[in-house]
Amino acid sequence: MGTIAHRETGATQPYDLLLKGGRVVDPRNRVDGRRDVAIRDGLVAAVAEALDPTDAVVVQDVSGTIVTPGMIDLHTHIYHAATSYGVEPDPIARRSAVTTMVDAGSAGAGNFAGFRSFVADRSQCRALAYINISYPGIFAFDRDLMFGEASVDGLLSVDRCVAVAEENRDIVVGVKVRLGGGTSGEIGLLALERALAAAGRLGLPLMTHIGRPPPSYEEILERLRPGDVLTHCFRPAPNAPVDGHGALLPAVAKARERGILFDIGHGMGAFGFASAEAALADGFAPDIISSDVHMMSVDGPAFDLLHTMSKMMTCGVALVDAVAMVTDAPARAMGRSDLGHLAPGAVADISLIDKVEANFPFVDVAGVRREGAYLLRPRGLVRAGVPVAPDPRPWESAYYRQTGQRT
């Protein structure tokens, strides 16, 4: 890993890179089995049970490793240094084998140009964004301070949001609004209305955060349109997806029937084992897994997408389903069906993951613990055909040191 496969002048091999012998899990193309993946000129060139290693300039043996379409973290905050809680995307992407990070509303119309110049244009990972309906984006948020960007009517300019999104169509995947608690204050449903108006004019989906009521889970869901995303879907009460007896809210099942998408968005305050386990027991799995990684969740309890996937698997989500929730499902949710799969011709964004046995103690946002049986570990990634080595995961190294297990 870490080597860059260059096509040598005069090279006769048809492939730049061959990933040999891995378990390819590509839900869009209904593949789950041993396959070789060949890459040429930054694109997937071939996926087959056996490809000839002499046909590739570089061969990487990935036997025993899970090979997936490049994973997409649909809810992150990567407007690094420009916002108080933004994290630098590339180290997080490398350590979690993620190839696409989608910022969820850190920037609004007033400062989206900075997101493009300082993040999207400079990152090794693909950086996309939901644009915040609020002009300054999420401008005042740390551990002890939160001024709701959606709580002031005068900041919620539909015209400005639409104009800036139009100028940045290549990286804007939708409109973001944060509803509930202090984020929208007294005007939650008005903020939602404005965000829906902007998304409607752009023909893009809306992603909405849900916090403490008001508004209620039901009030938000009934206003969303098919294809819109509710993030923080398994938050703890109040405004959990289940009632006090652990039964799924009828409004949740009804919204899924209408095509509303449910996203984890773990973060520092929005994932509870009680909500997740009760919803899953009622047959309700999320559509999308995302981390909501930012300054206050990056050192736990969310850490990153790979850790959040391991946590969902501890709740009973199967590996293949978890992979679909971070590849095919978020790609479709963004209207970017060019991403999230490995058919020949697709961009060669690829994640390499090892599933290892580990009794890791997972913790939710309320401090509730569950011991898992497995951890997903990054083996590396390929970004537009270029192999990238993984960064370390310090909290897992500490666990292995404490338990005396081999990493």
Residues in contact with Zn ion by CB under 5 A are: 104, 292
Alpha-carbon distance of 38 to 382, in angstroms, equals 12
Nearest approach, Cβ of 379 to Zn ion (angstroms)? 28
Q: Per DSSP, what are the bridge partners of residue 36?
A: 48
Measured from the CB atom, the residue of 104 and 305 that comes closer to Zn ion is: 104
Picking from 368, 351, 370, the residue whose alpha carbon sits closest to that of residue 359 is 370
- At 252 the three-state DSSP class reads helix
Measured from the CB atom, the residue of 5 and 155 that comes closer to Zn ion is: 155
The crossing angle, in degrees rounded to 10, of helices 188-202 and 158-167 is 40
Measured from the CB atom, the residue of 15 and 85 that comes closer to Zn ion is: 85
Measured from the CB atom, the residue of 66 and 156 that comes closer to Zn ion is: 156
Nearest approach, Cβ of 16 to Zn ion (angstroms)? 37
Nearest approach, Cβ of 84 to Zn ion (angstroms)? 13
Find out whether 313 and 273 touch, Cβ atoms under 8 Å. Answer: no
Picking from 175, 80, 71, the residue whose alpha carbon sits closest to that of residue 126 is 71
Measured from the CB atom, the residue of 25 and 104 that comes closer to Zn ion is: 104
Residues 6 or more apart from 400 whose CB is under 8 A from it?
Answer: 406, 407
- Closest residue to Zn ion in the complex (CB): 292
Q: Per DSSP, what are the bridge partners of residue 261?
A: 229
Phi/psi of residue 41, each to 5°? 55, 40
Measured from the CB atom, the residue of 293 and 331 that comes closer to Zn ion is: 293
Q: Structure tokens of 273?
A: 């084992």
Alpha-carbon distance of 168 to 162, in angstroms, equals 10
Dihedral angle computed from the Cα positions of residues 302, 306, 312 and 314, in that order, rounded to the nearest 10 degrees: -100
Alpha-carbon distance of 189 to 150, in angstroms, equals 10
Nearest approach, Cβ of 221 to Zn ion (angstroms)? 19
Which segments within 201-260 are labelled E, that is strand?
Answer: 206-210, 229-231
Measured from the CB atom, the residue of 104 and 204 that comes closer to Zn ion is: 104
Alpha-carbon distance of 257 to 281, in angstroms, equals 18
Nearest approach, Cβ of 140 to Zn ion (angstroms)? 14
Q: Structure tokens of 266?
A: 């773990």
Measured from the CB atom, the residue of 19 and 195 that comes closer to Zn ion is: 195
Nearest approach, Cβ of 395 to Zn ion (angstroms)? 21
Alpha-carbon distance of 150 to 132, in angstroms, equals 9
Nearest approach, Cβ of 97 to Zn ion (angstroms)? 21
Nearest approach, Cβ of 210 to Zn ion (angstroms)? 11
